[in-house]
Each structure stands twice: as structure tokens, then as C-alpha cells.
Amino acid sequence: MTAERRVAVTGMGVVSPLGHDVETFWQNLLAGRSGVSFITEFPTEKLRSDIAASIRDFDPLTVMGAKEAEINGRVTHFGLGAAISAMREAGLDFPRDPETVPTTDDPRLPVRPDRIGCLLSTGQGGVDIFEQQILKSAERGPRAVSPYFITGVMLNAVSALVSMRYGLMGPSFNIASACTTATHSIAMSALLIKAGEADVMVAGGAEAATRLNTVAGFGNARALARAVDGDPTNASRPFDRQRNGFVMGEGAGALILEEEEHAKKRGAKILGYVAGFGLTSDGEHVTRPHPEGLGLALAMERALGRAGIGPADIGYINPHATSTPQGDVCEVAAMKRVLGARLREIPISATKSLLGHLLGAAGAVETIATLCTLRDQRAHPSINLDNPDPAFDLDFVREARAITARYALKCSAGFGGHNCALVLERA
Amino acid sequence: MSGKQDLLALFKETATQVDKKTFDNVTRESVITELGIDSLAMMQIVGEMETRLDVMIPDEDLVEIITVGDLCTKVEARL
């Protein structure tokens, strides 16, 4: 009988509105700094929301050549950037060597190429390339459409580029489940490792969808928040009585998931563990979660079950908490259903209050924040909680504080009713 | 009262166009959710009416809308 394979985390990387390396990102979260500002990239007078969490200082030429940067969408710039940082931290940022045979062990390589794959997913893909090429076709006819159109917009472009960069021959593809994209990618990467399909996976999410028409689309569904008193940083208000929608954001988060023995054998530093995961659906409505949070509750139960722990063992929760009137209610209902009386004792901080909603990347950057929380035994604040909704009688972290937690719960829920919960464990 | 009748007619026309169903028997007292119009379809109908009448209905106004009459009253207030 084969022993259960444990999934460790050996690297993390981010490209985000709060920094392009994990330490800067984490310190900004602890300091309660917001990454939200007024949109400057396109005119916003006719939009229902004029704010977003945007990245303005990331140069794609630091991770790819000029041509590559042009034919691939902004989402791939972020994704590759985060992946390279994570691989570097894990000691896996090895150059491709044409001499190596990828399917046999080679002492010169930290990992056999056919044992490492990539699930660095995006929910919307290269929307900038899509818009650009549609306009080109409208102006100059279909002959002007780029031969790189399809490879530029396909959602799997991010995973493809990462696997091409490192010559990865393990499983690589894309999972798209809207706001749950990255969390699902982490869970499925863990499952692939446990199933023996890979020993290492580059897992996480990327998104760069803050375009005029995407903001218009979300805005016309009345899902977006506006600045309060002219201050963009107070628009994202999870759990607050005045919450009225989410703030769009862009960026990427990558984690190197690695089978524990494989990591120990090569002397890799273990940063934490993915101890459990649960994947469920609501089967209810395309944007509204199940009113009692049944689907998300089931995902949490399954995650706890896989981790072999109970509510008493959870020391911190990083919820999905998008700041929508309905979403926050359903999530709390789900947490109460699973954690019962224990819930009120668990510190909770909503990363989206600071970072906005990174859509397909949210689950990854928030999991990274959760792992930093476990590593440092310190929780970042949930800001804009001036008047917590009285229905939520919970321990919200209002100022960064020390916590005692061996296990943490990370939850995500996406348009379409897709839920995923992770149990993360400190190293 | 013809202004109000016009708005009711506009609602029926827009709803028919958006939801691909007929709404002939709709009155101002009709409860919107009972007409099988969900939240996203509602946004679509409101958006269409806003464009046609060149008005903006803010998010806060939409929270209290239960009947078709409530919607017509909110739209009227912005004309």
C-alpha cells in the first residue's frame, strides 16, 4: 500500500497592485495599504465604476522578449513573472539544457522535467489581444488578424508559456472557474501530486481583465463598488454595512507545490502545506451564491475532512469576501454551518479589502497571504470595516495582530456557483 | 396619467425583448420576481430603459424595487 503523498509548498511568487515580490506584497498587507486607485488607462465617465486595483510598474521585458510581450496578453506577463519568482525561491529556476533527457533522472537537475507540470490558470485570458484583433479586423478586414490571435487569447497561454520556459513535460493546462480559478488550480495541482501524476506543480492564477468593456460588463450587472467620498481605497468593504460591490483588480500568484519527500530529498525549504481541499458547486444561479451557502459549506467540510481536522483546529480564515451585499452573507452562512460556535473565536481578514478582487488570480494571491500569515503567525487587517454588518458577529482583524494558528482555511466562490476551500498548514 | 402608461408599456416592451417572453398581462402591481425576471435580467431591462430614456438609475434606487410600479416610479423620478 502506497503511503499518502503530502503536498508541500516550496516557492511563492506574485505580481500585484501591492508589489511584485512576496515580501513587499506581504508587508503592504500587514501595513493595511490599499492597492486601489482611480482608473487612468481608459476613459471612465460612462462607466458605473471608475476604480480598480491596477499594476502600473511591471515591465514585461524583465521576463520575456519584446515580440513575446506583444503577441501574448498582459495576463501572461503577470503569470510568467509570478511563476519565475516562485521557481527561483524553490530553487527550480534552471535553464533548459538540450543535453538532458527529460524522462530520465539526471543529478544535474533539481527535478525531472516530466515530473513537473503547470496549472497557472486564468479565467478571462488575453482579453486585450481579443479586443485589439477584433478592432483590427473591423478596420482592415480579416486578413489583418494576427496569426498569433488564437495563441494570444486562449486561456491556457499562461501555463503554456511557463511550461515552454522551463521545458516542463508534466501535466499542464488551464482551469477556468471565474473567481475560483486559482484556488481550483491549487487544489487540482495538489490532487495531481497526490495521484502521482507529478511530483511538482507550478500552481496558481493570473488575470488582467481591467478593460473598458469588462468594467462596463461587470458595472452593468451592478456588481462593482464606487469610491466613497472620492476615496478609491475605501470602496472595497467586505463585511461592512455599506458594502456595495467589488473592486476589479489584476495580477498573478504562483505557488510551487511539491511532494514532501521529493522536497526533502533535494533539500528544498518547505514554506507550508496544502493539507486539504474541497471542490463543490452551488447549482443555483449564475451570479448569486446559494442563499444558505450550502455549496461552500460542503467545500469547507471536504477540505477539513481531507486534512483530517475539525473546526477546533482552524486558527485563521481568509475568506472569499468580495464586498458584495449578497456574497458576504452567504459566505458567513456557510462558515457558521461548518464551524458552528468555534467560528466566533477564529480571526478573519479579508484580503480583498486591500487588494480588490483579482478574479482568476485572487485565490492564489490570497493563499500566499494565508501562508505568510501561518509562517509569521500574524494576520493582516481587514480595512474599511467602519460598521461591521450586525449580522456578522465575528472576530474580524481590524489591525495587524499576532495569532496562534497551525491550520488556516482559504475559501473562494465564483460566478457560475463554483466553490473551493483549502486547508493550509504551517511548515 | 399617460406618462405612467407609457412607462409601463416601455417596461413590457423592453422585458419582452430582453427575456424573449411575452408580458402582456403585466400591471404596475405585478411583482417582478414572480414574472420570472431574475436579477441579471432586471439589470438588463433597467439598462435598456436608461439608454432609451437617457437617464441614470443609481444602484441605491434598485434595492427597493419589488413591483413593476416601483420601477416605473423610480424611472419617472429621474426623467
Query: Which of A205, A238, A273 is at the close of a domain?
Result: A273
Do residue B47 and residue A220 have CB atoms under 8 angstroms apart?
yes
Is the pLDDT confidence value at B1 over 50? no
Contacts of A327 in chain B (CB under 8 A): none
Contacts of B43 in chain A (CB under 8 A): 220-222
Confidence of residue A106 (pLDDT cuts 50, 70, 90): confident
Name residue A357's beta-bridge partners: A248
B47 lies within 8 A of chain A by CB: yes
Cell of A293: 451557502
Answer yes or no: is A38 within a domain. yes
Residue with cell 472576530: A395
Contacts of B44 in chain A (CB under 8 A): 220
Is the pLDDT confidence value at A311 over 60? yes
Interface probe for A, chosen from B37, B38, B39, B48 (most Cβ of A below 10 Å), is B39
Superfamily grouping for domain B2-78:
ACP-like (1.10.1200.10)
The domains of chain B are located at 2-78
Cell of B9: 408599456
Average pLDDT of the residues in B66-79: 91
Share of chain A above pLDDT 70, in %: 100
Mean pLDDT of chain B: 88
User: Based on the domain organization, do A263 and A281 belong to the same domain?
Assistant: no
CA distance B1 to chain A (A): 30
Mean pLDDT of chain A: 96
pTM as predicted:
0.94
Cα angle A411-A53-A287, degrees, rounded to a multiple of 5: 45
Do residue B39 and residue A220 have CB atoms under 8 angstroms apart?
no
Expressed as residue numbers, the domain containing A318 is 276-426
Read off φ and ψ for residue B43, nearest 5 degrees. Answer: -60, -40
Q: What pLDDT sits at residue A416?
A: 93
B33 lies within 8 A of chain A by CB: no
Which residues of chain A approach chain B closer than 8 Å at the C-beta? Answer: 48, 220-222, 244-245, 285-288
Cβ(A257)–Cβ(A8) below 8 Å: yes
Give catalytic status of residue A290 as yes or no.
Answer: no
Average pLDDT of the residues in B34-60: 89
- Cα A427 to its chain centre, rounded Å, is 20
Do residue B39 and residue A287 have CB atoms under 8 angstroms apart?
yes
Average pLDDT of the residues in A50-58: 97
User: Based on the domain organization, do A391 and A422 belong to the same domain?
Assistant: yes
- DSSP strand E in A244-305: where? 251-259, 272-281
Cβ(A14)–Cβ(A29) below 8 Å: no
Give catalytic status of residue A320 as yes or no.
Answer: yes
DSSP at A79: H
Cell of A382: 481587514
Identify which of A190, A307, A173, A184 has the alpha carbon closest to the alpha carbon of residue A258. Answer: A190
Q: Using CB atoms, which residue from B39, B44, B47 is nearest to A288?
A: B39
CA distances (Å), origin A13, targets A134, A158, A368, B54: 33, 15, 8, 47
Q: What pLDDT sits at residue A359?
A: 98
Q: CB B54: neighbour CB atoms within 10 A?
A: 8
CA distances (Å), origin A279, targets A252, A298, A331, A391: 21, 8, 15, 27
Contacts of A220 in chain B (CB under 8 A): 43-44, 47
CA distances (Å), origin B57, targets A245, A340, A420, B11: 16, 40, 35, 14
Query: Which of A246, A273, A300 is at the close of a domain?
Result: A273
User: Based on the domain organization, do A230 and A328 belong to the same domain?
Assistant: no
> How far is it, in rounded angstroms, from Cα A219 to Cα A166?
39
Share of chain B above pLDDT 70, in %: 94
B38 lies within 8 A of chain A by CB: yes
Is the pLDDT confidence value at A96 over 90? no
Q: What pLDDT sits at residue B4?
A: 67
Q: What is the pLDDT of residues A181-225, one digit of tens each?
A: 999 999 999 999 999 999 999 999 999 999 999 999 999 999 999
Name residue A425's beta-bridge partners: A273, A407
The residue of chain A nearest to residue B46, with distances taken between CA atoms, is: A220
DSSP one-letter string for A319-354: ------HHHHHHHHHHHHHHHGGGGGGS-B--THHH
User: Based on the domain organization, do A90 and A223 belong to the same domain?
Assistant: yes
Q: What are the helix (H) ranges across A101-258?
A: 127-140, 149-153, 157-166, 181-194, 212-220
User: Based on the domain organization, do A193 and A298 belong to the same domain?
Assistant: no
User: Based on the domain organization, do A237 and A342 belong to the same domain?
Assistant: no
Query: Which of A231, A258, A273 is at the close of a domain?
Result: A273
User: Based on the domain organization, do A416 and A296 belong to the same domain?
Assistant: yes
A377 against B43, higher pLDDT: A377
Do residue B40 and residue A286 have CB atoms under 8 angstroms apart?
yes
Q: What pLDDT sits at residue B58?
A: 87
Contacts of B62 in chain A (CB under 8 A): 222
User: Based on the domain organization, do A189 and A286 belong to the same domain?
Assistant: no
Cell of A234: 475605501
CATH of the domain at A298: 3.40.47.10
User: Based on the domain organization, do A70 and A48 belong to the same domain?
Assistant: yes
Contacts of A222 in chain B (CB under 8 A): 43, 59, 62
Which member of A77, A184, A290, A357 is catalytic? A357
Average pLDDT of the residues in A93-122: 88
> How far is it, in rounded angstroms, from Cα A199 to Cα A362?
25
**Which residues are CB-neighbours of A375 under 8 A, at least 6 positions away?**
A271, A272, A426, A427
Answer yes or no: is A2 within a domain. no
Contacts of A285 in chain B (CB under 8 A): 38
> How far is it, in rounded angstroms, from Cα A351 to Cα A223?
18
User: Based on the domain organization, do A80 and A105 belong to the same domain?
Assistant: yes
User: Based on the domain organization, do A331 and A293 belong to the same domain?
Assistant: yes
Pairing of strands A251-259, A200-207: antiparallel
Q: What is the pLDDT of residues A363-380, one digit of tens each?
A: 999 999 999 999 999 999
Confidence of residue A1 (pLDDT cuts 50, 70, 90): very low
Q: What pLDDT sits at residue B3?
A: 64
Give catalytic status of residue A179 as yes or no.
Answer: yes
Least confidently predicted of A54-63, A178-187, A277-286, B3-12: B3-12
**Assembly ipTM:** 0.81
> How far is it, in rounded angstroms, from Cα A346 to Cα A149?
48
Do residue A222 and residue B38 have CB atoms under 8 angstroms apart?
no
Q: What pLDDT sits at residue A165?
A: 95
Q: Where on the phi/psi map is residue A204: left (φ > 0), alpha (ψ -120 to 50), or beta?
A: left
Residue with cell 505580481: A15
Answer yes or no: is A69 within a domain. yes
- As for how many domains chain A has, the answer is 2
Average pLDDT of the residues in A250-270: 97
> How far is it, in rounded angstroms, from Cα A13 to Cα A182?
13
Confidence of residue A64 (pLDDT cuts 50, 70, 90): very high
User: Based on the domain organization, do A315 and A261 belong to the same domain?
Assistant: no
3-state secondary structure of B23: coil
- Cα B38 to its chain centre, rounded Å, is 12
Answer yes or no: is A389 within a domain. yes
> How far is it, in rounded angstroms, from Cα A206 to Cα A288?
23
Confidence of residue A2 (pLDDT cuts 50, 70, 90): low
Read off φ and ψ for residue A206, nearest 5 degrees. Answer: -145, 150
Identify which of A53, A57, A18, A16 has the alpha carbon closest to the alpha carbon of residue A38. Answer: A53
Do residue A220 and residue B43 have CB atoms under 8 angstroms apart?
yes
3-state secondary structure of A316: strand
Average pLDDT of the residues in A7-29: 98
Do residue A220 and residue B40 have CB atoms under 8 angstroms apart?
no
Average pLDDT of the residues in B26-53: 91
The residue of chain B nearest to residue A242, with distances taken between CA atoms, is: B60
Do residue A222 and residue B62 have CB atoms under 8 angstroms apart?
yes
CA dihedral angle for residue B11, residue B14, residue B15, residue B18, rounded to 10 degrees: -160
Cβ(A242)–Cβ(A328) below 8 Å: no
Q: What pLDDT sits at residue A273?
A: 98
> How far is it, in rounded angstroms, from Cα A395 to Cα A377?
16
Is the pLDDT confidence value at A324 over 60? yes
- Cα B78 to its chain centre, rounded Å, is 13
Is the pLDDT confidence value at A30 over 60? yes
